């Protein structure tokens, strides 16, 4: 594998820059351009490129690493759900936290999310785990780390993605108003300081993992609460049915 498609290739007629921008939706590209010029992002880009070029299997596929951004431009964000690490199993991850491709079984955490939506809103439990319909309505499904080596959870943690996604959270907080942030589990809750609570809404709960879902996630009613908050602002509520 000779190239990594998530990054633009500079023209051979121009001096090679220290870093090139990722292939990401235009509003995010403009908002985050300064991040792409920072040393950590250059090191991150080189790390991911070397992983792919050395033949290691990386999830999600390079063209889907920024899928959450492509489906949910900055000016359309209404809700942010923060995950930690992409799924590391075959064909699972496709760039949206908690979401999986249609052809694979629904992971346990997402099963619990569906159960809570059913209990909260009375909606039927879906037969697949693809959450793109949420993203297209303004739900940014953001993982803190955007890539992972196959079969090795957290293998790309500490390589620079966390700096980037912290900057994303801060950019949303600074440039938007009235966003609902759903922070599930201790890791997500640790990002609370990035959010201006005078301008935004934060709902916290336990992680939906089977290890913790019944210690504060089940019964949280975050989905109805989110829609109530959106409606009070005159925004279209999220159709949580997929």
Give the residue numbers annotated as catalytic, written as ranges: 85
**Residue 154 zone, left/alpha/beta (φ > 0; ψ -120 to 50; rest):** left
How far is residue 88's CA from residue 156's CA, in Å, rounded to a whole number? 11
The pair of structure tokens assigned to 226 is 């989110």
9, 12, 143, 7: which is closest to 68 by C-alpha?
143
How far is residue 37's CA from residue 87's CA, in Å, rounded to a whole number? 28
The secondary structure of 154-223 as a DSSP string is: TTTTTSSHHHHHHHHHHHHHHH-SSPEEEEEHHHHHTTGGGS-TTTSEEEEE--SSTTTGGGTTTT--HH
Task: Give me the residue label for tokens 């109530």.
Answer: 228
Q: At a CB cut-off of 8 Å and minimum separation 6, what does 8 contact? A: 20, 21, 22, 23
């Amino acid at each position: 594998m000779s190239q990594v498609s998530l990054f633009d290739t500079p023209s051979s007629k121009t001096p090679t820059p220290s870093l090139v921008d990722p292939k990401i939706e235009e509003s995010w590209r403009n908002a985050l351009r300064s991040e792409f010029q920072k040393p950590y992002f250059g090191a991150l880009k080189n790390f991911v490129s070397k992983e792919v070029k050395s033949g290691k299997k990386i999830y999600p596929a390079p063209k889907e690493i920024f899928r959450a951004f492509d489906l949910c431009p900055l000016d359309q964000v209404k809700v942010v759900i923060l995950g930690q690490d992409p799924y590391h199993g075959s064909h699972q991850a496709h760039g949206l936290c908690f979401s999986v491709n249609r052809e694979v079984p629904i992971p346990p955490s997402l099963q619990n999310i569906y159960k809570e939506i059913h209990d909260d809103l009375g909606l039927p439990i879906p037969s697949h785990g693809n959450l793109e319909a949420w993203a297209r309505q303004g739900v940014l499904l953001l993982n803190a780390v955007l890539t992972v080596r196959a079969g090795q959870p957290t293998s790309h943690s500490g390589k620079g993605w966390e700096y980037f996604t912290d900057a994303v959270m801060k950019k949303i907080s600074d440039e938007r108003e009235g966003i609902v942030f759903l922070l599930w589990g201790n890791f997500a809750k640790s990002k609370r300081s990035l959010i201006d609570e005078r301008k935004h809404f934060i709902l916290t709960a336990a992680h939906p993992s089977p290890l913790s879902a019944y210690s504060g996630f089940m019964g949280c009613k975050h989905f109805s609460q989110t829609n109530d908050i959106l409606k009070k602002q005159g925004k279209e509520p999220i159709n949580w049915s997929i």
